[in-house]
Amino acid sequence: MLRIWTKYLAVTSVAAAIALQMGHVNSRPVDANAGARLFSDRGCVGCHNPQSLNRGAEYRALTAMPASDVAEALRAYREGRRDNAVMQNMTRALSDQDIMNLAAYLGQ
């Protein structure tokens, strides 16, 4: 009887491990390094950078935000819920994955 239970537990834990892995098939892991590359490649750095003249305040606002707030702000611009022509334009081509990566890079 004990042996049967042990075998049952072993089989179910393998099944659970496989199910957990499958949950990740469709979503790539959040990648802060990819976010850093996007931040530079898409030109975000031109405005949100302490070295950019007269733009320091916006950069500081970004680095003081939790990642979830950065992601929500970017989605809100992309979907037009937050009104700012510059940022709506900057976020138009971002995928959900891009937004998660940028948030991981920028967020606290």
Choose, by CB under 6 A, the member of 34, 62, 67, 104 that binds ligand HEC.
62
Write the DSSP symbol of residue 44. G
Tally the C-alpha atoms within 13 A of residue 33's C-alpha that lie toward its C-beta.
1
Is residue 34 within the footprint of ligand HEC (CB under 6 A)? no
Is residue 84 within the footprint of ligand HEC (CB under 6 A)? yes
Name residue 104's amino acid. A
Is residue 90 within the footprint of ligand HEC (CB under 6 A)? yes
Query: What does the CA dihedral 92, 81, 59, 106 come to, rounded to 10 degrees?
Result: -70
Instruction: Tell me how far CA of residue 49 lies from CA of 22, 31, 45, 93, in angstroms.
Output: 39, 21, 5, 21
Choose, by CB under 6 A, the member of 10, 12, 43, 66 that binds ligand HEC.
43
Is residue 44 within the footprint of ligand HEC (CB under 6 A)? yes
List contacts with ligand HEC (CB under 6 A). 42-44, 46-48, 58, 61-62, 70, 73-74, 82, 84, 86-87, 90, 102
